[in-house]
Amino acid sequence: MNTPDSPWQAWYGNQALPTPDGPLCLAFDGPLARVLINRPEVRNAMSEAMWDLLLAHVQTISSAPQIKAVLVEAAGTKAFCAGADISEFAQVYATPERTRVYNAKVQQAQIALERLAKPTLAMVQGACVGGGCGIALACDVRVVAQDARLGITPSKIGAAYSLSDTRRLVALVGPARAKDMLFSGRLLDSEEALRIGLVDRGCDNAQLAEVARQCIEPWLNNSSHSIAHTKRSILSIAGIAPQADADLQAGFENCFAGPDFAEGYAAFLAKRAPRFQ
């Protein structure tokens, strides 16, 4: 059962969720999939095993037809995710081959999250740094608490940000601001992050869960087919996951032949809420 100090806060219909077990947890909360970064003792730093788990969880969500949206959240209040676990660096970067393997795991997990057909939201409180910021950027929407601090800091340790991570950053804030963030490694407060488009909604800490709920609720009620097509089109236009224009046009046309469209306009004419399958 949920308790007031549980990392799983009550969400969809105040439904009880299982006690979190492990450093990266997945729970299905009605039509909502919830991914919990659960290592508050180390500011939710991502270990190598957690990157593997993230990819596995995204694949599980992808194959679950009842799931209509995804919430990525974190245990504790000090950090959404402080980034990759630096205590592992001597091991995961021990050789060029080991480096390639590790970097590929990180990038595959983030790309899978980014390209998931279901809409995703990162709910950010506290520090969101490096690889943690990469997870947030791979989500479709970012809601942040007032105390959130976001930054990408590889220049401070002689590392670099991956091409896919950098592409996401540039797509959100533009080349000049991306350079400012990456060259300096500085942390942005929630106000600046919102102003430059790095995040989408900001609020007081106490309102974070409610604002995230307000954002997600329409996703749960609207047509998953429409949302999936829209996401594919936007990812293609942005150059993230290009598809042939003809394929996207066919997907657009197919929407009008599908059951969701028939239900949607029938509900509108009947002045009732649609019941999408």
CATH of the domain at 121: 3.90.226.10
Angstrom distance (rounded) from CA 8 to CA 29 = 10
pLDDT higher than threshold 70 for residue 1: no
Q: Could you tell me if 214 and 233 lie in one domain?
A: no
Residue 251 lies in a domain: yes
- On whether the CB atoms of residues 117 and 62 are closer than 8 A, the answer is yes
Instruction: Supply angle C-alpha 123, 208, 70, rounded to 5.
Output: 35
Q: Could you tell me if 229 and 187 lie in one domain?
A: no
Residue 4 lies in a domain: no
Q: Domain containing 80: what range?
A: 12-221
Q: Which residue has the tokens 């990408």?
A: 152
Residue 191 lies in a domain: yes
pLDDT tens digits, one per residue of 170-220: 999 999 999 999 999 999 999 999 999 999 999 999 999 999 999 999 999
Residue 254 lies in a domain: yes
Q: What is the pLDDT of residue 19?
A: 87
- C-alpha torsion sign, points 185, 191, 196, 202: positive
Please choose, from the candidates 190, 185, 181, the residue with its C-alpha nearest in 3D space to the C-alpha of residue 147.
190
Q: Could you tell me if 122 and 253 lie in one domain?
A: no
Q: Could you tell me if 167 and 231 lie in one domain?
A: no
pLDDT tens digits, one per residue of 34-73: 999 999 999 999 999 999 999 999 999 999 999 999 999 9
Q: What is the pLDDT of residue 14?
A: 64
Q: Could you tell me if 81 and 97 lie in one domain?
A: yes
Q: Could you tell me if 197 and 213 lie in one domain?
A: yes
- Over its C-alpha atoms, the chain yields an Rg (Å, rounded) of 19
Residue 277 lies in a domain: no
Identify the residue with better confidence: 264 or 215.
215
- Mean pLDDT taken over the chain: 93
Q: Could you tell me if 133 and 70 lie in one domain?
A: yes
pLDDT tens digits, one per residue of 126-154: 999 999 999 999 999 999 999 999 999 99
How much is the pTM? 0.93
